Amino acid sequence: MAEFLMPKLGTDMQEGILVEWLKKPGDAVHRGDLIAEVETDKGTIQVECFTSGVLEQILVPEGSTVPVGTVLAIIKEEGAPPEAIRQPVVAAPAAGQTAAAKPLEAPPLAPTVKPSTVGQRALMSPAARKRARELGVDPESIHGTGRGGAISLEDVEKAAAAKAAVSTAPPATTTASVSEPAARMARIRQAIAAAMSRSKREIPHYYLSTSIDMHSALSWLAEKNAALPVPDRILYATLLIKAVALALRETPELNALWDGQQGVIAKDIHIGVAVSLRQGGLIAPAIHHVDRLSLEELMVKLRDLVQRTRTGALRASEMTDPTFTVTNLGEQGVESVYGIINPPQVAIVGFGSIVQRPWIVDGQIVPRPIITATLAADHRVSDGHRGGLFLRALDRWLQEPAKL
C-alpha cells in the first residue's frame, strides 16, 4: 500500500485545500495520472499520482484544508496485499479543537455529499479567511460559489461590498477594502515575498553578466520562420531557453538543488520559466527535459505552459520539478535583470531586451542586436569562475543556432 500525501507545492507552503478528487475509489491509476486538484497560495494545482495501482480509499473529503504531509488517500500498488480500511479524517478543525486529524463518525470510502462546512467552519482558502478577517466579514454569512460551496476571495470581496453598500459609515473607513485586482494578487504576493525573503536571507548570491550578439541567432530564426506557418513560428525566447539548457550540460553544478547541507546536481534539466500573471505576480513552472527537446517541441510546450499558467491549470510536477529558472523582461524594455534565486534551486539567469549597439566585427564597427544575460548563483555551490564558463557556453550556443 502507498500513501498519497498532501504535496508541498512551494518552498513555503504549509497547508492546502483539497478542491476536488479526479479519481474515485476503485479506479485504476497510473504514475503521472491526475488524481486531485489542490488550492495553494499560488492558485489551483493539478496533482499527479506517483505510483501505479488502484485508488483503494479516500481519507480526506473535498474542500478540506489540511497541512502538507497529511495522508489524503491510500493506493493499493500492483501486487500489494489488501490492508485494513483506515478512518477518513476531517482537517481544518474548528477553533478550540486540536490540529490532529479526527475520525469521522462513519468510515465511507468516499464522501457522497460535498458539505459546505467542515468541522463547523465555512470552507474557504487561508487567503480568503484572512481577507474576511481584514474586512470584518463573518464567513458564515458569505455564500460560497466554489466547488462544494467553498468561499473564494471574490465571494469575500462581494460580501464586503454588499455590507459597505448598506453601511452609513463614511468611505474613508473602508479604505482597507482594496480593489479586486489587488485582492486577487494578495495571496500570490505573500507567497513570493516569503520565498524571496528566505532566498536573500539564506543564500549568498553572486552576480555575473555578459553581452551577447544575437545577429546570428535572429538571422537564422527569421529564415527558419519564413518556411513555417504563422501559428508554428518560433519565438526567440525559445532559443534562449534551449541555449541555457545546453550550457547547463557543461556546468552541471548550476543545475542543482540545495538539500540543506550541499548542492545536489539534478540528473535532468527542467527549466522553470517565469510567467507573469494577468492580475499581477509571477510563477515559474517547469518545462521538463529541455535539453532533449527540439526547438519546435520546446515552442509548443512553452506556449502551452504560459496558457495553462494564466488559466490556473498547472500540474504539481511543473511547480516542484524546476532545477534552474529563466526570467526574461525583454518585452518590458528592461536591458538587464538581476534575479533572486528561487530555493531550493541554486541559480537563475535573466535576459533583458535586445537593443541595437555598435559592435566590432572583423575590425569594423557595425550595428548589432545585443542582449544582456545576467546570472545569479549560490556561492555555496559554485563560484564566479564556473558561472563565467556557463555564460561563455550560453554565448557560444547562441552563435550556432542551427545546433540548438
Residue 193 · residue 209 · CB < 8 Å: no
- Each domain of the chain, given as residue ranges in start order, spans 2-117, 124-185, 205-403
One of 3.40.50.300, 2.40.50.100, 2.40.33.20, 3.40.50.11540 is the CATH number of 2-117, namely 2.40.50.100
> Which are the contacts of 163, defined by CB distance < 8 A and separation ≥ 6?
135, 136, 137
Highest mean pLDDT among 117-126, 160-169, 194-203, 343-352: 343-352
Same fold, 2-117 and 205-403: no
Residue 382 · residue 346 · CB < 8 Å: yes
Give tens-digit pLDDT for 102-127.
433 333 433 333 333 433 455 776 66
Give tens-digit pLDDT for 273-319.
999 887 777 899 999 999 999 999 999 999 999 999 888 889 999 99
Taking the C-alpha atoms of residue 120 and residue 79, their distance in angstroms, rounded to an integer, is 40
Taking the C-alpha atoms of residue 320 and residue 284, their distance in angstroms, rounded to an integer, is 10
What pLDDT does 29 receive?
93
Tell whether pTM > 0.85: no
Site of grid cell 463614511: 170
What pLDDT does 8 receive?
87
What pLDDT does 231 receive?
92
> Which are the contacts of 218, defined by CB distance < 8 A and separation ≥ 6?
236, 354, 369
Give tens-digit pLDDT for 184-241.
567 777 878 888 898 999 999 999 999 999 999 999 999 999 999 999 999 999 999 9
Q: Which CATH superfamily is domain 205-403 in?
A: Chloramphenicol acetyltransferase-like domain (3.30.559.10)
Cell numbers placing 203: 543564500
Question: Please, what is the average pLDDT of the chain?
Answer: 83
